[in-house]
């Protein structure tokens, strides 16, 4: 096969062909992986909802998105076994921290899981366990409607993760936001809190 002369037009043609082939390959890979990625996300969410509600087969009946005072989305999952709420705080030590919290009908915390974080391994990353039932920072059974959850350093009654006060504050703020969304929605639409209107919910306790 005769080699193309190394002229500018020929080089542009070759580069264009390479770009078209690469773009096509990326589009193909994206198409075949998009489905499995979405399935994995759905499975992870379903497992998280079951975990925070303490059940095994909760079925989401309605999903509603509201906004906190900073414009961050707070997602309410109304299921046949209770309500779980996903909220974030953008000001963790490493950035955004996202939690999913399950609430009993009166507003007490049934369970939680950390969905996403960028906290320091071995320190802030402990949030997934530190606040669980029986652990040092146990928040299970507490009702943020009776008293906002804050760390003891700020006058609250929750022990912060050792050497990770910033992470602890961010975590508790996210839980408080989740509660306010749950409480506000419950007042709007009874047990499930499934209002279709976007509404603002307060932020959690400010960091001191």
Q: What's the pLDDT tens digit per position in 114-124? A: 998 878 787 77
Residue 109, judged by CB atoms within 10 A of its CB (0-12, 13-18, 19+), counts as buried
Total Cβ atoms within 10 A of residue 38? 10
pTM for this structure?
A: 0.74
For 8, the token pair is 């500018």
Q: Domains of the chain: which residue ranges? A: 46-201
3-state SS class at 26: helix
Tell me, what DSSP letter sits at residue 48? H
Per-residue model confidence as pLDDT tens digits over 156-181: 999 999 999 999 999 999 999 999 99
- pLDDT given for residue 29 in this prediction: 74
In angstroms, rounded to a whole number, what is the distance separating the alpha carbons of residues 89 and 172?
9
7-18 per-position pLDDT tens digit: 777 778 878 888
Which residues pair with residue 112 across a beta bridge? 101
Surface-to-core class of residue 144, CB atoms within 10 Å of its CB (0-12 exposed, 13-18 middle, 19+ buried): buried
Buried b (16+ CB within 10 A) or exposed e, 42-66: eeebbebbbbbbebeebeeeeebeb
Phi, psi angles (nearest 5°) of residue 87: -140, 160
Q: Which two tokens stand for residue 140?
A: 């299970």
What is the band of 198 on the pLDDT scale with cuts at 50, 70, 90? very low
From CA 112, how far away is CA 69, in angstroms rounded? 22
How many Cα atoms sit within 13 Å of 17 on the Cβ side? 6
The confidence band for 139, taking pLDDT boundaries of 50, 70 and 90, is very high
């Amino acid at each position: 096969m005769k080699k193309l002369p190394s002229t500018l037009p020929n080089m542009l043609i070759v580069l264009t062909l390479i770009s078209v082939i690469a773009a096509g390959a990326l589009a193909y890979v994206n198409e075949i992986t998009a489905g499995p990625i979405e399935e994995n996300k759905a499975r992870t969410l379903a497992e998280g909802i079951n975990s925070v509600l303490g059940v095994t087969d909760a079925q989401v009946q309605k999903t509603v998105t509201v906004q906190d005072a900073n414009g961050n989305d707070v997602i309410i999952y109304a299921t046949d076994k209770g309500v779980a709420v996903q909220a974030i705080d953008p000001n963790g030590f490493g950035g955004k921290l996202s939690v999913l919290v399950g609430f009993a009908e009166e507003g007490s915390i049934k369970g939680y899981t950390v969905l996403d974080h960028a906290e320091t391994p071995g320190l802030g990353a402990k949030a997934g366990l530190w606040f669980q039932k029986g652990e040092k920072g146990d928040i299970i059974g507490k009702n943020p409607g009776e008293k906002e959850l804050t760390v003891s350093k700020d006058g609250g009654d929750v022990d912060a993760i050792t050497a990770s006060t910033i992470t602890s504050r961010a975590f508790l703020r996210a839980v408080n936001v989740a509660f306010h969304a749950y409480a506000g929605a419950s007042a709007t639409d009874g047990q499930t809190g499934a209002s279709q209107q976007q509404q603002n919910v307060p932020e959690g306790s400010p960091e001191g």
